[in-house]
Structure 1
Amino acid sequence: MTNFGEILFFNLDSAYSFIIYENTSELPVNWDELAISTIFLSTQYFTVLEKSSPENMICYFIGIFENEKLIGIALSQFLDLKKLESFGDRDKRTKTKIRNFIFKNFASQVLVLGNNMLTGQNSYTLMNGFDDKKAIQTLYKAASSIKTNFANKGIKVHITTYKDFNKEEIKNFDIPELNKEHQFSTQPNMIFTIDENWKTEQNYIDSLSKKYRDQYKRARKKASLLEKRKLSLAEIIRLEDEIYNLYLHVAQNAPFNTFFLPRNHFKVFKETFKDKFLFYGYFIGDKLIGFNTLIKNGNVMETYFLGYDESIQREYMLYLNMLYDMIAYSINKNFDEIVFARTALEIKSSVGAKPQKMYGIISHTNPFLNSFMSRIFKYLEPETTWQQRNPFK
């Protein structure tokens, strides 16, 4: 089943119990009955991770039980940052070099309670009527078991972190086991709320102030020479090398990375999720110059990874046009909101996304270093200065 042995299962009268699974084939048959709130805790999504997670990532699936009844499900990911050749090549500042040195030497083995590939609360979900704080205590014990398992193999987990929670959700982490750990706030999650009165893209355009209507018109004019196509699985497979090179160009030029997707990731996602996973390619003639991906998550549209040629992106305002295309599709298909996630905060706010502050908990295994975590974290989390825009009348 797994190699966790005796530390696999934890139980106290005052707490829930847990089982840690390493393969989707081991999951309880009723697992997906609890994954209603988000597909990112479903066996279907875990299958994608199983087949195409980043090379430096190991995923663990955690079942939370009351007696023998499955009442909660969770995801944990172990990241080995030493396997990365680069954390991101964009910034060459001294502070960035210090941060990279810290990661390489003191924080390269990271255990995440949650999903490091996504933004938002994709850590766990619990059946109605059960105690969130008791569930967090159980996840803390599960994390301890995972760390013990690594220690038995001679691998020391440096950093443990719980991510991403809003201001209400983070209150559940006010438990004795975590009261000495550092609570942090990261870059916000950019959420675009679709007005219930918008039935078409034109309704959205009409709601913009003149300055941002002009921005919309300018961007659309620039994109008039591009062809946008929804790609099938066969096309994704045929263009896999071009797709990966475009993804890698964007990823490597980000200020910071803790993983890189494998080459087959988008193919596996499309094979698994079919019409729930949308892949749009942007072409000049037959040449793919950019792409973006979307995931249908109930009534929420989740933006996923993208890629583009930076030199062409600027000329055609491609990134901005991608945002407008995502908004248009989501309005036309009656979604309630779009999760635009982190990065490019200002341009996302210029199309109407609002920042949602996100919180987490982080600790270092070394007690001395952990006492300075509030200072160390400033080097671990890149700072972003940006101006929020309001494009609406």
Structure 2
Amino acid sequence: MNLQLHIGSKTLDKNKWKSMCPQGSFLSLPFNLAFEQHHKSNIKHLYYVADDKENKAIGYAQEFNIQGDKICDYQRKNMERRSLINLILKLLNLKVVALGNGLLTNISNFSSFKLSNNIDFFNSLLLLIQKNLSADKFIIPDHFFKELKVEKPNEVFPELIKVVVDQDMHLKISKDWNTFEDYTKALKKKYRSRLKSVMKKSENIEIKVLTQTELVKHAEKMQELFDNVHQKSAFGISPFNTSIYTDLIDSDNPKCQVFAYFLADEMIAFSSELKDDNNLYSYFIGLDYRYNKSHRLYERILNETIKSAISNKKSNLILGRTAAEFKSNVGAQPIRSEIFVYLKSPILRRLLRPILENIQPGNWIQRNPFKEII
């Protein structure tokens, strides 16, 4: 199998990549180069290409560090406590390779046109990365195996550890919603009143789509707002540099927009969106928590994102994995999500397997805000 790995894009045959990249894909080279350009110090960016008569595939991956205390934070969030192991975990600094984008966890970064043997391809890819990076810890998202057409990966590859992670929250956009008002009318009275309250409390906020010049102007503030949210995250894998938006908004596939929320000329929040043909993805946000309750900031961002999905005539709105119950208030439904962990060391595998396999998303109440099932 002619399988090549490139650490960074310098040695990558960019014309070949473009010719193999599906139209409208998140594998778009300018899109991934933006992540490489703005996250150099904390992430290694990997591009792999299989190109021979029997195999045609491309993919993007990352190598980064996960602090053991972040795993502990995620355990505590999900009520999984093991005091002795937690103490050991806090001492660990794990260098891992993710077969995907750690800053875009619910979107596939792998595309296969044809593979002579899917299992051989996966084994060859792991061996190639291990050889070139001395990597021995991998995170493989479920969407990688879906693209690879491998069902029940942990049964096909017994050394994998299956981890059930927070559900991805999706809102199906009804064909009957031509405007945000149509969405509002579809809500039950209780939730319609709540929405009106959110809009009333945030009516003094001005929302603006940021240009590249404005992104540069507000760069420092945006990073501060994002860091506020990141610090509250139970399992933020890697720091995100908001300067990337200056390049992402120039990308056509996917299309990116950044919205700033101003109160009396002060930016108190921002939100960002990624769009492909059928879907709108809610991307990173930033908040000044001093105004979150008084102006219902987070809820206003959710409403504006729904409004954007409707006006852009998308079929689905993907809202991500955080604040599931909150998002169910606006009609989002949970989609089960899993990752698979490979640890080469039998000792570390034995230590972490019971912890990782016992992690379950926290309990929450699914709300049903619509008069009828959408």
* TM-score, L = length of structure 2: 0.87
Whether contact under 8 Å (1:38, 1:122) holds in the other structure is no
Distance 1:220 1:137, change over 3 A: farther
The superposition leaves residues 21-51 of structure 1 with CA deviations (integer Å, 9 ceiling, x where unpaired) of 2333523414234433653211111111120
Q: Give the counterpart of 2:339 among 360, 366, 370.
A: 360
Question: 2:315 matched to which residue of 1?
Answer: 336
Give secondary structure in 2 for the equivalent of 1:315. coil
| Code of the aligned partner of 1:146 | I
Q: Give the counterpart of 1:390 among 361, 368, 373.
A: 368
| Code of the aligned partner of 2:95 | Q
Matched, 1:55 2:41: yes
Q: Give the counterpart of 1:234 among 200, 207, 213.
A: 213
Distance 1:347 1:96 in 2: 29
Matched, 1:296 2:299: no
After TM superposition, the structure 1 stretch with the greater mean CA deviation from structure 2, 255-264 or 345-354, is: 255-264
The superposition leaves residues 119-139 of structure 1 with CA deviations (integer Å, 9 ceiling, x where unpaired) of 324131122xx34x8345323
Distance 2:132 2:86 in 1: 27
1:210 deviation in Å?
0.9
Unaligned stretches of 5+ residues in structure 2: none
Question: 1:35 matched to which residue of 2?
Answer: 21
Whether contact under 8 Å (2:111, 2:147) holds in the other structure is no
Matched, 1:164 2:142: yes
Whether contact under 8 Å (1:189, 1:355) holds in the other structure is yes
Give secondary structure in 2 for the equivalent of 1:172. coil
1:304 deviation in Å?
0.9
What pairs up with 1:71-220 in 2 under 5 angstroms?
71-81=56-66, 95=81, 101-103=87-89, 105-106=91-92, 108-127=94-113, 130-131=114-115, 134-135=117-118, 137-151=120-134, 157-165=135-143, 172=150, 178-220=157-199
The superposition leaves residues 343-387 of structure 1 with CA deviations (integer Å, 9 ceiling, x where unpaired) of 1111111111111111222122211332454312158x5742321
Matched, 1:318 2:297: yes
Give secondary structure in 1 for the equivalent of 2:150. helix
| Code of the aligned partner of 2:37 | K
Whether contact under 8 Å (1:140, 1:177) holds in the other structure is no
Distance 1:31 1:162, change over 3 A: same
The superposition leaves residues 202-253 of structure 1 with CA deviations (integer Å, 9 ceiling, x where unpaired) of 1111111111111111111111011111111101100111110000011011
Q: Percent of counterpart pairs with the same letter?
A: 22
Q: How many aligned residue pairs are there? A: 367
Give secondary structure in 2 for the equivalent of 1:314. coil
Question: 1:154 matched to which residue of 2?
Answer: none
The superposition leaves residues 85-108 of structure 1 with CA deviations (integer Å, 9 ceiling, x where unpaired) of 978989799949877755554561
Distance 2:25 2:187 in 1: 32
Whether contact under 8 Å (1:188, 1:355) holds in the other structure is yes
The superposition leaves residues 106-162 of structure 1 with CA deviations (integer Å, 9 ceiling, x where unpaired) of 5611111122112324131122xx34x8345323322222222233xxxxx452121
Distance 1:169 1:272, change over 3 A: closer
Give secondary structure in 1 for the equivalent of 2:101. coil
